[in-house]
Structure 1
Amino acid sequence: MTCSSRGRLRPLGRRIMAVVPPFNFITLHYAYFIVTPLICSIIFWGASTPFRSVAYIDALFMCVSAMTGAGLNTVDLSSLNTFQQAILFALLMLGHAILISIPVLWVRKRAFESKFKGISNKTFCQHHDSYIPPNGESSPAVQRQPLNSDASSSAKASGTTEVTPIDIPSNEAHDDTIQWADDDQVTIGALARAHHHSHLFPNVGVGARPDLNNHPKDAVPTLPLREKDELPRLKGMLRGTQKYFASRGLISRNSQFHGLTPEERDRLGGVEYRAVSFLSIIVALYWLMFLLIGIIGVGGWLEANHPNISRENGLSPFWTGAFFAVSAFVNSGMSLLDANMTALQTNVYPLLTMGLLILAGNTLYPCFLRFIIWAMRCMVPNGPTWESWRITLDFILDHPRRVYTNLFPRRHTWYLLGTIIVLNGIDWAGFEILAIGNKEIERLPAGYRVLDGLFQALAVRSGGFYVVTISELRQGLLVLYVLMMYVSAFPVLVTMRNTNVYEERSLGIYAHDNSDGEDESQAKPGLFMTLVRHHLLGRQDVSTTEASRSYFVHQQLRSQLSHDIWWIALAVLFIAIAESNHFSHDPVNYSTFNIVFEVVSAYGCVGVSVGFPGMNSSFCGSWHTISKLILAAVTLRGRHRGLPVAIDRAVMLPNESLAWAEEEDAALRQEKTRAWGPDRMPVGAV
């Protein structure tokens, strides 16, 4: 190939790469949730008995609904054969958020191992170079020392991951700003190198600023981060790292470690590696144990107590109970019984067990997981033998968002628990109050009425089951359910955003920070435009206002709400247009409110439906093909609204870019703190 032909192909290749989605976490997540249902839908459709008794659009919708956890069904599950039911059973588990988080932990664990292997190889080369320099003299910039065999052997004996330190001249270690350049983790004095900022999981999500350079090459920390005495305003707000490893570094807000030497960064990586390794095991056991307990418990109970309920639908009692348990744990709401949970509305054990599975599999999963880790930490005995376990568990409890997306600090976990209790309490109270005068509910005994109200409150926000016929409930209660389904993901989502280690960077705030010369040359908005932005548009200038925790939460909520409402509004509009002929013949059942209810349930991946007269499937089962396709797209988008934002430590691989980000954030935050003064410190700056 000639040089001219290669030159013509390069612009074409760049144009193609500009169209192709970036290879990152969210792209892989979307691909997984699109390709898997497509493949399974073909198998599902081909396995119909008799052949083609289930339309392909219904097969596709059912597979997408099961994979995303939406739980809506366009055909009766009891009419499917066992193989088709098994496909849905497998898709329910394959799409569960906890299961998907386990491979992320495994990938990060392998990345740590590869990094440590590279450090070991580099140290080995440096060990030999220190005795046989290439030009006969040791380098004056960096003094490489041989491997410390005593430290290495003690690290192996304690079970900790340790790396070899690279000593540096003392005057550079304490006088120069710590910077991180290329793949050489060294302290640089007068040299200015380009910063390598690539990472495998640059996740982009709602509220992020993907258009901004979140890892600026030219932004260099300008403060000596090692000098505690020069930061009197931060006394009492910074902590040391001695609890995990010996260093003079500091820990500030949102578990950011800064002021560390390359050796200390490697030790921090060793602690994080043990934490990720532990979580990769405990999360897998959590997921497996709850599934097994649920399957055996509910399936065995139904087999022993009410087998006739399943056999009336031509189903095996144990298989029906197992499907119930898995659907509850993954918060889908799919049921093999045509009447869903209404046949069990006067049975205490399945209602309580499935209610617990709903909480453990989604809304209270961070609380349950943190409680398990906390209990294990309390049981670890004192003594040098267990020191590695204590450090690992302490690190997970103190800095959970550095290692896992759905594990939060203690204060935020309590807030999440309180929020879930309040929201479910509102649903429960609304059910009991608005049930007054409702003959369908009042015919139940008082005790079961209270229990059914509790179960329905737990299920309507994410579980998807219904213990009473939804269409028979009061209109006001249905409106309340729409609101609760809409905000179903918000408690966990906001907590995840609020506890991000790179909080400001994920919002693109530090990407606005330019040099003084650039700031002076840029035109600044006048007073009128500032008032318009602040009062009419609700915008704030981060560079001139306090970057408080409430601002970040407000920014995320505003971005999430505006993003969600567009998807729901457009879906309702297009579906209402497609179902116009149905509305003309049956305006009551095809009302706009019923369409809104179904769309919000799909977007929230809840699964509750008002149904349709004469059908056991969801309301969407009576829609046209185009409407079902739109709703399937809505469920896919809704499944991805709770993913981490652009830069999240828990889904990023360990590299020098993360170390640079922490050091840079700390320097910029300290610089802003000095400019603001102690009274204008960001909220929660610890």
Structure 2
Amino acid sequence: MIPRSCHQLLGRGIIAVLPPFNFLTLHYAYFLATPLICSVIFWGSSTPSRSLGYVDSLFMCVSAMTGAGLNTVDLSALNSFQQAILFALLFLGHAILISITVLFVRRSAFQAKFKGISIERARKRLSLHMPGHGIPLDSINENVIVEEHQPAKSDDVGHDGKGSGTAEVTATESNGELLNDDPSQWAEDDQVTLSHMRARQHHRHRVFPMVGVGARPDLNNHPRDVAPRLPQADEDELPAFKGFIKGTQKYFASKGFIARNSQFHGLTPEERDKLGGVEYKAITFLLVIVTLYWVLFVLCGIIGMGTWLAVNHPDIARKNGLSPFWTGAFFAVSAFVNSGMSLLDANMAAFQTNAYPLLTMSLLILAGNTLYPCFLRFIIWGLRCCVPNSPSWASWKVTFDFILDHPRRVYTNLFPKRHTWYLLGTIIILNAIDWAGFEVLSLGLKEIEDLPKGYRVLDGLFQASAVRSGGFYVVTISDLRQGLLVLYVLMMYVSAYPVLVAMRNTNVYEERSLGIYAHDNTDDEQDGQSSPNMFIQLVRHHILRRQDVSTPEASRSYFVHQQLRSQLSHDLWWIALAVLLIAIAESSNFSRMPVAYSTFNIIFEVVSAYGCVGISVGFPGSNASFCSAWHPISKLILAAVTLRGRHRGLPVAIDRAVMLPSESLEWAEEEDAAMRREQSRAWGCDKMPVGSV
């Protein structure tokens, strides 16, 4: 018999090696398991039997699932069942569909939390009336669950959307609802005082931490596991507006505060429940509106492109032995998920002089990825403007205002107004650069100059929309000038950065997820360090490019720069390693065809795969991507690159929008508020900024 202690040690060893159970690990597992299963079916359904190698089958499934769009075989040569598998994988891997699943899971978690709170409160009320008797759970009416935690009803909210008063919570009930190990102590004035917190000595280090690019690897994924040194929150350190802060009353009656990045703190347990009710209704509404957004765009795209192609140019599809409507439908879905896969061998080059498919596909590309946060916020803002000013609609006004004011508490790809405008401006600037590069660097190319001027501009705009993530091409990529190809490599490399930076910059748990306050110096260490003189600051800022973080504004700028630096270095490492391995594997082919297998062509293919774009320089005599002529080991390496690239734009593990509601999150907000109060004191500010988002 093996001693029980050995079993425990073995179990702890396995847990220490395995990645933590969070959103990122589930995302990786989903994107690994689904293509593996589908690739077996894809390979087994080949006609004639086994005419397609398994490596090609696996690569095609991974490429469709990740939205990379690269193809090692001509899609027109596949049978209808194999095309249907790729069609389904395009859906299954789309970020919007996955976000809908996250919203559904979070809504279910809120419902379960409210159910437990309601049952516990009912048991306490019965215990007060029936002392000394056990109250079974079955005897408690579970029908009143979510209703207790909904936002204020119309009769509890005034015409201005503000609550009529603060609910009274007795000290006994408040203390009873707190967990025994909860570090928050609720004072008599319903404000939170955090004190005597000690950093944990035991931290679990993992081989594969899965905390996201830019996050500190020594941070555990659970907020309660990260306990940096906290200051004593004395009464005289609280803001002068203690008891009422403009902004909290907009959603529910509260005495709490709202710090930057939509962090609520200083709330009583009952106010936390009210905040959870507001978030629950916001998530429920987003679940409906995002689902409708996804379904309507997909249906309209399928019907529009399929019908147009079947009516106007059915011969284009029939040349490849395809159904016109099916070809148009595949085009629409591939554009919306930003894959770039096409059943036509000529891709979008067959529609160089057709305005409708170019405009429709451009809209689908933007709506499905790059401008999705902008479109979604505009829709919600439009619905908010349509809400009538009547008491019966006051609850909806609170929900819309909460989503627009604090979007990153409820959804990953919805940002505050300022960041949304930044995102829109960045996309416009990048697309304008792509369009200008296409028009200027293509001068003298016969294929482009033969086009009518109007369609030349339209083709340039379409290519600008597709080159950063869409993956389609309206002209043969290998025929373009080298300078334009280099520009495309750069644009594919930074394709995910606008949304990624906005997502990381608006993270509710910014400090906690990225370790800004993870190991602050103690007061003694700070006192022992003298501030650098002006000359040293100039050297650091202008020569060494180091940021001065002595002010809140500089700290935010430092945070953005650190994120960009971490992401750029992380991406470069993956791309450089993949290019090196593939170049080694393709050495024999390079000796045989040095132009076709040039290092630049390999870099172009790897960057396109890592950016999940799908544009390829192609291979002479083939309609498939350049990687179709590679060795199987090179295809497997590129498939791994696409999987890693698909996950580079995801939120870090500690992100409110992908974490289930728990008391740990509430504690994390209170702790972050105390850390910011300490940091504000270090900046020489007696008061913490209030109401800043």
Same fold (TM over 0.5): yes
Question: What does residue 145 of structure 1 align with?
Answer: none
Partner of residue 10, structure 1: 8
Deviation sequence 1:33-77 (CA, Å, 0-9, x none): 011001101100111110111111110000000000000000000
- Change in Cα spacing, 1:458 to 1:680, as seen in structure 2 (3 Å) is farther
C-alpha spacing 1:521/1:418, structure 2 compared with 1 (3 Å): closer
Partners of 2:655 and 2:120 in 1: CA distance: 28
Q: What is the deviation of 1:537?
A: 7.8
Gaps of 5+ in 1: 136-147
Contact kept, 8 Å, 2:259 with 2:691, in 1: the verdict is no
Shift of 1:226: 9.8
CA 1:562/1:651 → structure 2, altered by over 3 Å: closer, same or farther? same
Q: 1:124 aligns with which of 116, 122, 125?
A: 122
In the superposition, relative to structure 1, how do residues 617 and 225 fare at CA in structure 2: closer, same or farther (>3 Å)? farther
Equivalent residue for 1:313?
Answer: 320
Q: Is the 8 A contact 2:149 2:277 kept in 1?
A: no
| Counterpart contact for 1:210–1:646, Cα < 8 Å | no
Q: In the TM superposition, what is the alpha-carbon distance from 1:125 to its structure 2 partner?
A: 2.1
> Cα 1:525–1:570, aligned 2, differ >3 Å: closer, same or farther?
farther
Q: Tell me if the contact between 2:194 and 2:232 (Cα under 8 Å) persists in the aligned partners.
A: no
CA distance in 2, matches of 1:159, 1:466: 57
CA-to-aligned-CA distance 1:82-128 (integer Å, 9 cap, x gap) = 00000000000100000001111011101111111111112112213
CA distance in 2, matches of 1:195, 1:512: 13
Partner-residue secondary structure (3-state), 2:253: coil
Tell me which amino acid in the other structure corresponds to 1:55: G
Partner of 2:170: 168
**Aligned in 2, Cα 1:537/1:107: closer, same or farther, shift over 3 Å?**
farther
Match of 1:187 in 2: 186
Which residue of structure 2 lines up, in the alignment, with residue 475 of structure 1?
A: 482
Partners of 1:183 and 1:196 within 8 A in 2: no
1:209 is displaced (CA, Å) by 1.0
Using a 3 Å threshold, how does the CA distance of structure 1 residues 433 and 210 change in structure 2: closer, same or farther?
Answer: same
Deviations 1:446-495 (A, max 9, x none): 11100000000000000000000000101100000000000000000000
Q: Distance in 1 between matches of 2:99 and 2:637?
A: 28
Task: Write the letter of the residue equivalent to 2:116.
Answer: G
Report the equivalent of 1:138.
none
Helix, strand or coil at the partner of 1:341: helix
Cα distance change of structure 1 residues 133 and 634 upon mapping to structure 2, 3 Å threshold:
same
Q: CA deviation at 1:224?
A: 5.0
- Output the CA distance in 1 between the equivalents of 2:149 and 2:517: 42
Q: 1:460 to 1:680 in 2, by over 3 A?
A: farther
Aligned mate of 1:53, from 34, 51, 54: 51
User: What is the CA–CA distance in structure 1 between the aligned matches of 2:518 and 2:49, rounded to whole Å?
Assistant: 58
- The separation in 1 between residues aligned to 2:430 and 2:291, in whole angstroms, is 29
Could you tell me which of 83, 98, 101 is aligned with 1:100?
98
Shift of the 523–42 alpha-carbon distance from structure 1 to 2, 3 Å rule, reads: farther
Question: Structure 1 residues 133 and 514, CA, compared in 2 at 3 Å: closer, same or farther?
Answer: farther
Q: Give the secondary-structure state (helix, strand or coil) at the position aligned to 2:343.
A: coil
TM-score, normalised relative to structure 1: 0.88
How far the C-alpha of 1:415 sits from its partner, in A, is 0.5
Amino acid at match of 1:604: G
| Distance of 1:281 and 1:604 partners within structure 2 | 30
Residue 652 of structure 2: aligned partner: 645
Asked whether the equivalents of residues 166 and 262 of structure 1 are also in contact (C-alpha less than 8 Å), the reply is no
Residue 606 in structure 1 maps to residue 613 in structure 2: yes
Distance 1:187 1:337, change over 3 A: same
**Is 2:213–2:648's contact at 8 Å kept on the other side of the alignment?**
yes
Query: Per-residue CA shift, 1:554-600, capped at 9, x if unaligned?
Result: 01000000000000000000101100111101111111000000000
CA distance in 1, matches of 2:234, 2:129: 33
Q: 2:595 — aligned with what?
A: 588
TM-score using structure 2 length: 0.87
Counterpart among 218, 237, 246 of residue 211 in structure 1? 218
Please list every run of 5 or more consecutive structure 2 residues that lacks an aligned counterpart in the other structure.
134-143, 158-162, 204-208
CA distance in 2, matches of 1:488, 1:453: 18
Aligned match of 1:142: none
Identify the match of residue 85 of structure 1 among 83, 86, 105.
Answer: 83
Q: Out of 416, 425, 440, which is 1:418 matched to?
A: 425
Residues 262 and 108 (structure 1), Cα distance of their counterparts in 2 relative to 1, 3 Å cut: same
> 1:271-286, aligned counterparts within 5 Å?
271-286=278-293
- 1:270 maps to 277
In the TM superposition, what is the alpha-carbon distance from 1:536 to its structure 2 partner? Answer: 8.9
Calculate percent identity across the aligned residue pairs.
71
Q: Which of residues 620, 625, 633 in structure 1 aligns to 2:627?
A: 620
1:223 aligns with 2:200: no
Partner of 1:140: none
State the one-letter code of the partner of 2:337.
V
Query: What is the one-letter code of the residue matched to 1:46?
Result: G
- Distance in 2, Cα, partners of 1:83 & 1:673: 62
CA separation of 1:159 and 1:276: change in aligned 2, threshold 3 A = farther
Q: Larger deviation: 416-425 or 643-652?
A: 643-652
Contact 1:327 1:334 in 2 (8 A): yes
Q: 1:129 to 1:192 in 2, by over 3 A?
A: farther
Alpha-carbon shift at residue 675 of structure 1 (Å): 2.9
Aligned positions, number: 658
- The 3 A distance-change label for structure 1 pair 457 and 157 is closer
The within-5 A match list for 1:327-346 is 327-346=334-353
Give 3-state SS (helix, strand or coil) of 1:53's partner.
coil
Give me the whole-angstrom Cα distance separating, in 2, the residues matched to 1:681 and 1:53: 68
Shift of 1:229: 4.9
Correspondence list, 1:655-674, <5 A: 655-674=662-681
What is the distance in 2 between the residues matched to 1:12 and 1:520?
43
- 1-structure distance, mates of 2:689, 2:604: 40
Instruction: Quote the Cα distance in structure 1 between the aligned partners of 2:412 and 2:384.
Output: 20
Match of 2:111 in 1: 113
8 Å Cα contact 1:181-1:195 kept in structure 2 = no
Tell me the equivalent position of 2:22: 24
Aligned pairs for 1:390-405 within 5 A: 390-405=397-412
Q: Distance in 2 between matches of 1:16 and 1:538?
A: 43
The 10-residue stretch of structure 1 (537-546 or 445-454) with the greater mean CA deviation from structure 2: 537-546
CA–CA distance in 2 between the matches of 1:559 and 1:667?
A: 27
The farther-off stretch of 441-450 and 5-14 is: 5-14
Write out per-residue CA displacement over residues 174-232 of structure 1, whole angstroms, 9 at most, x where no aligned residue: xx9x998646987268998999999xxx9711000131365445755622579755479
8 Å Cα contact 1:182/1:195 also seen in 2: no
